[in-house]
Amino acid sequence: MIELSRGRRLAALAALALGGVAVGLTEFVAMGLLPDIARGLLPHEYAQSSSGAVARAGWMITAYALGVVVGAPLIAALSARLPRKKLVLGLLVLFAVGTVASAIAPTFDLVLLARFAAALPHGAYFGAAGLLAATLMGPGNEARGFATVLGGLTVSNLVGVPLITRLGQAAGWRVAYLVIAGFFLLTLLAVLAVVPEVAAAVDGSPAAELRALRTSQVWLVAATGAVGFAGFFAVNTYIAPVTTDVTGLSAAMVPWALVAVGLGMTVGNALGGWLADRDLQRSMVIGFVAMIVSIAVFSLVASTRVGLFVGAFLVGATSLYLGPVLQARLITVAPGAQLMGAALNQSAMNIANSLGAALGSVAIAAGLGYLAPARVGVVLAVVGLILGLVSFAVGRRLRERVPATV
């Protein structure tokens, strides 16, 4: 634990969490602006079929998710010996450049490419910033450290995403992304000012980080997050058309639906970070069961005004509850490669993002309606629970064969 005054420590944690706010904005704002993006980038398709154009615009979310999947392990391996603060600063620069490119790219294909590039530093940021926060908080607070950075993401969904969504609806989605780039620059200045220097792990190296990829448990836990968490994204990706076309509310109510999701995420993240440091297995089981129930409830009641907002809150809460839980689990099964373990969790989350958005798009394009992705999400969450239980069972068997082996 680094010796800092209480005020300096809180300021440093706040700066790292501010980065989580900016990342949440660049990742999630597209979900509330999909109809606007579709009208702007795909006008001819939108005129022929609004749902078809919205479904195609959903590939922006998939492109971002794929960028995270590629960038997280690659940057984690290459930056193993880089001091954590310098790594975080470099990643913030990449975020800002990619987000500006997303705002100014003239065609749909170029926007897809820009979203992919903007996502490359995503996983490494949460990994490096989360490890920094855990170091600042001291031993035994790993999950709470990551929950602190993820807390910025939940605040983003609670306040930032609805506000930027409303701005995008009024001034254009490109303006929204330029404002988000400004948040990354603000975070960079805050990190420069208040976050202390923290050296990389003494035994850190690209080889050590890559060795984590040889562990079957790492892949099993990553698959748990990738499939199980896709249930959340199957719902959240299409929250805008559910609000307007299913519940029958105006577009002005979309930001308020996002507030409900964000409020749930804030509550769930805090609770998950606290419980994961106490009983990891129980926390994961509780989280997946709650997610399954909440998504099922959403699919049944989102056609009503009250049902939409209550269901959105429950889906957000149960899903982000699992964020720090899965993060802590991956670090546990990747000893000696904490940055890789932390980054891989973000890869898994964004495979989930890609999978949920893509399967939801297929269901909508098949004419099953905007609530069909939620029914798909229930199945995905069930599979995630099964994979999580298998992971712990495999871990117990490995410990029985070789003491002290995860």
Whether 62 shows a pLDDT value over 70: the answer reads yes
pLDDT in tens, 150-179: 788 878 877 888 889 889 989 999 999 999
Choose between 75 and 144: higher pLDDT.
75
270-297: buried (b, 16+ CB within 10 Å) or exposed (e) per residue?
A: bbbbebbbeebbebbbbbbebbbebbbb
Which CATH code for domain 1-203?
A: 1.20.1250.20
Query: What pLDDT does residue 212 have?
Result: 62
pLDDT in tens, 85-116: 899 999 999 999 999 999 999 999 999 999 99
Highest mean pLDDT (candidates 4-8, 62-66, 180-184): 180-184
Query: What pLDDT does residue 402 have?
Result: 57
Percentage with pLDDT > 70 across the chain:
90
CA angle (200 as vertex; 196, 202 as ends), nearest 5:
130
Query: What pLDDT does residue 325 have?
Result: 85
Mean pLDDT, residues 13-22 taken together? 93
Predicted model pTM: 0.74
Whether 337 shows a pLDDT value over 80: the answer reads no
Spell out the domain ranges in the chain. 1-203, 204-405
Whether 22 shows a pLDDT value over 70: the answer reads yes
Whether 304 shows a pLDDT value over 80: the answer reads yes
d(C-alpha 66, C-alpha 347), whole Å: 8
Query: What pLDDT does residue 79 have?
Result: 78
Whether 321 shows a pLDDT value over 80: the answer reads yes
pLDDT in tens, 185-235: 999 999 999 988 876 665 555 666 666 667 778 888 889 988 998 999 888
Query: What pLDDT does residue 134 have?
Result: 79
Query: What pLDDT does residue 157 have?
Result: 74
Number of neighbouring beta carbons within 10 Å of residue 343: 33
Query: What pLDDT does residue 405 have?
Result: 45
Whether 11 shows a pLDDT value over 80: the answer reads yes
CATH class of 204-405: mainly alpha
Highest mean pLDDT (candidates 271-275, 292-296, 323-327): 292-296
Query: What pLDDT does residue 204 have?
Result: 57
CA angle (165 as vertex; 10, 12 as ends), nearest 5:
10
Query: What pLDDT does residue 143 have?
Result: 66
- Phi then psi for residue 200, to 5 deg, are -65, 165
Choose between 141 and 12: higher pLDDT.
12
Choose between 326 and 193: higher pLDDT.
193
The per-residue pLDDT of the chain, averaged, comes to 85
Query: What pLDDT does residue 406 have?
Result: 44
Query: What pLDDT does residue 387 have?
Result: 93
Mean pLDDT, residues 248-265 taken together? 86
Choose between 142 and 352: higher pLDDT.
352
Query: What pLDDT does residue 398 have?
Result: 66
Structure tokens given for 56: 């195609």
Mean pLDDT, residues 247-259 taken together? 86
The reply to whether 204-405 shares the fold of 1-203 is yes
Query: What pLDDT does residue 188 have?
Result: 96
Whether 9 shows a pLDDT value over 50: the answer reads yes
Whether 303 shows a pLDDT value over 70: the answer reads yes
